[in-house]
């Protein structure tokens, strides 16, 4: 994704937001709806930085809204990879990794693209405290209907039903859904609203990185978020 320019904008040096409160049964508000049905990520978001953050994909009409691409991939031999892209001008700053064999509760789980995408989204939301960069809204763009539909419509229904689907079968990847809910609530308590946008695979800039991680990275056994740490402003 070649980028040859960015915008430098003056902003306040520090910002503190009130918590985001989403009323029960209105979680569809977490779904990002573009102004026009044919809008692409590059139509709405462009590279920009300011005194609060390095280059990010920032909404052209709102400097307090950022976009992150997230993707998962899985090979035929069930080796999955994850990736998310938040930095438009420095590919090495973006993140790819092998999906861990064990989840956050130290239990082994089958590798799959769905699970890898959930893990990529969790990584993107955990990587930085996005409110500290001045963002009121962070849009996670992914081509996974499983993830977008789950986070905007189904996950609370599953939770309230004891993590059992309406068909009577257990919800797959429950551990990651629970971890994501916890992180979503924390991000919202800090005053930033996470939104989820279903885009096409061709529009998802993170797809190739996820596929490369699935093909080339060694398997990792233990789940960890400890390496998603705060970085200098230059990231």
31 assigned to some structural domain: no
The CA–CA distances, whole Å, from 112 to 18, 72, 78 equal: 37, 8, 7
228 assigned to some structural domain: no
Q: What is the DSSP letter of 104?
A: T
94 assigned to some structural domain: yes
210 assigned to some structural domain: yes
223 assigned to some structural domain: no
Residue with tokens 């230059």: 234
109 assigned to some structural domain: yes
71 assigned to some structural domain: yes
pTM of the model: 0.87
State residue 176 phi and psi, 5-degree precision: -75, -35
Number of domains the chain is built from: 1
Look up the CATH number of the domain holding residue 134: 3.30.420.10
Residue 187, domain extent: 42-216
Report the phi/psi class of residue 59: left, alpha or beta, with left for phi > 0 and alpha for psi in -120 to 50: beta
Local confidence pLDDT in tens for the 235 residues of the chain:
433 333 344 444 445 667 766 655 556 689 999 999 999 999 999 999 888 888 999 999 999 999 999 999 999 888 999 999 999 988 889 999 999 999 999 999 999 999 999 999 999 999 999 999 999 999 999 999 999 999 999 999 999 999 999 999 999 999 999 999 999 999 999 999 999 999 999 999 999 999 999 998 888 888 877 544 444 334 5
**Contact residues for 223 (Cβ-Cβ < 8 A; gap 6+):** 100, 102, 103, 104, 106
158 assigned to some structural domain: yes
């Amino acid at each position: 994704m070649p980028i040859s320019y960015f915008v430098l904008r003056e902003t306040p040096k520090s910002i503190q937001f009130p918590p985001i409160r989403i009323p029960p049964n209105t979680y569809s508000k977490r779904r990002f709806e573009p102004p026009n049905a044919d809008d692409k990520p590059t139509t709405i978001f462009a590279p920009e930085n300011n005194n609060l953050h390095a280059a990010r994909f920032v909404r052209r009409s709102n400097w307090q809204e950022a976009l992150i691409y997230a993707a998962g991939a899985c090979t035929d031999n069930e080796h999955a990879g994850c990736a998310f892209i938040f930095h438009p001008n420095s590919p090495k700053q973006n993140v790819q990794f092998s999906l861990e064999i064990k989840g956050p509760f130290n239990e082994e789980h089958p590798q799959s693209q769905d699970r890898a995408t959930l893990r990529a989204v969790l990584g993107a939301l955990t990587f930085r405290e996005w409110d500290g960069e001045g963002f009121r809204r962070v849009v996670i763009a992914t081509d996974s209907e499983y993830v977008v539909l789950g986070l905007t419509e189904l996950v609370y229904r599953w939770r309230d039903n004891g993590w059992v689907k309406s068909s009577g079968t257990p919800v797959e990847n429950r551990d990651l859904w629970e971890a994501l809910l916890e992180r979503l609530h924390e991000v919202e308590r800090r005053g930033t609203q996470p939104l989820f946008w279903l885009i096409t695979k061709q529009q998802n800039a993170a797809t190739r990185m996820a596929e490369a991680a699935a093909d080339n990275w060694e398997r990792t056994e233990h789940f960890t978020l400890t390496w998603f740490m705060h970085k200098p402003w230059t990231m």
